[in-house]
Amino acid sequence: MAIASVAPKGFVGNTNQHMVVIKTGDAAVSKYLARYLNLDIIERVASRHSTGGTRPALDYPSLKRLPIIGGIDFSIIDDAITQKKQKELEAQRIIDGIDSYLLYELGINLPLINSNLNSRFFLVNRHDLMDRLDPRFNKDISYIKNLTSYYPWVSLGEIVFNNGQYGANESARDYSIGDVRYIRITDIDEYGYLKSEEKKTASHIDNSYLLKFNDVLFARSGSVGRCYIHKNTTEPAIFAGYLIRYVLNKKKVDSDYLFYYCNSKLYNFWVKTIQRPAVQANINAQEFRKLPIPLPSIDKQQEIAAHISEMRAKAKKLQAEGAEILQKAKLEVERMILG
């Protein structure tokens, strides 16, 4: 069963064969029904009536047999949703503030990029062109080259020990406890953390792809530029082909500092500039090695990383609190149903 929702007034649209439209003729009834069907307990009841193996589904007779109980006070859930949104907004404000803090500490002012017609005309010496006759690239890369910082700029290639190793090209298989995990781009979330669900292993394990503590992975296509620092060494893991591994020189760079820098607006601007426009945008290992990084002393890097860690922890706590408030409200409504 998917999420039930009420079409807003004036909405016009189509549905496919996997959806069911229920017409009540009364907006209040539709809203009540949608809230009711979205309860976890009702979804569990619905799953017992589902048919099919690989893709379970509810047929019309089974859907019609779902018990509907009236008179439930959903204001408890409404209040919880409001509180959850407030917590999430507060968390988002903290996350948004990370960029401002990082850039301030590094003494970097991002350029204001105009998109008016005049700003799209510019001159460049052909000797300054790299290997791309791409106007957007050449203009934006000039912005990056002209950025100033309190600290010297280095390239990624100057703070790693290798040229960049592409991952294994193996098919993924279901994971069992004790297997070597197969880390793919889809296993890394938008914040650069490894997801704990839907683990996979590989059809063949090559030890040359085994990850070590503080190895950094960059996505070279798909979610191009996504960065992950390997911290969990309690379970062995290898990485997939659309990821590139670099081994950091810990005497020059703090892994957490690099991780947070590679989740900043400045880094994302560099990724959008460098990635090659194609059906699937990409950045290769050689291009990643040219990534410009402002590099304070190790002590300053660790200070910045520790502060950002605290900010992220506060945001995560707020998000967890919001989810818990909503879950408690749902359980309260379930108790009302069960008596």
Three-state secondary-structure class, residue 25: coil
> Using CA atoms, how far apart are residues 157 and 150, in angstroms rounded to an integer?
21
- Is residue 122 within 8 A of residue 128, CB to CB? The reply is no
Residue 131 has pLDDT above 80, yes or no: no
Structure token digits, residue 103: 């850039």
In the block, tokens 């506060």 appear at 314
pLDDT attached to residue 128: 62
Structure token digits, residue 178: 């004790």
Which has the minimum average pLDDT: 36-45, 51-60, 162-171, 189-198? 51-60
Three-state secondary-structure class, residue 51: strand
- Short-list 54, 262, 232, CA closest to 156: 262
Q: Within 13 A of 131's CA, how many CA atoms are on the CB side?
A: 4
- Is residue 205 within 8 A of residue 235, CB to CB? The reply is no
> Using CA atoms, how far apart are residues 244 and 285, in angstroms rounded to an integer?
7
Q: What is the per-residue pLDDT across 44-72, written as a single tens digit (0 to 9) for each? A: 888 887 776 667 778 788 888 888 888 88
Residue 160 has pLDDT above 90, yes or no: yes
Residue 138 has pLDDT above 80, yes or no: no
Residues 6 or more apart in contact with residue 17 via CB below 8 angstroms = none
Residue 278 has pLDDT above 80, yes or no: no
> What residue spans define the domains of the chain?
1-72
The mean pLDDT value for 82-90 works out to 96
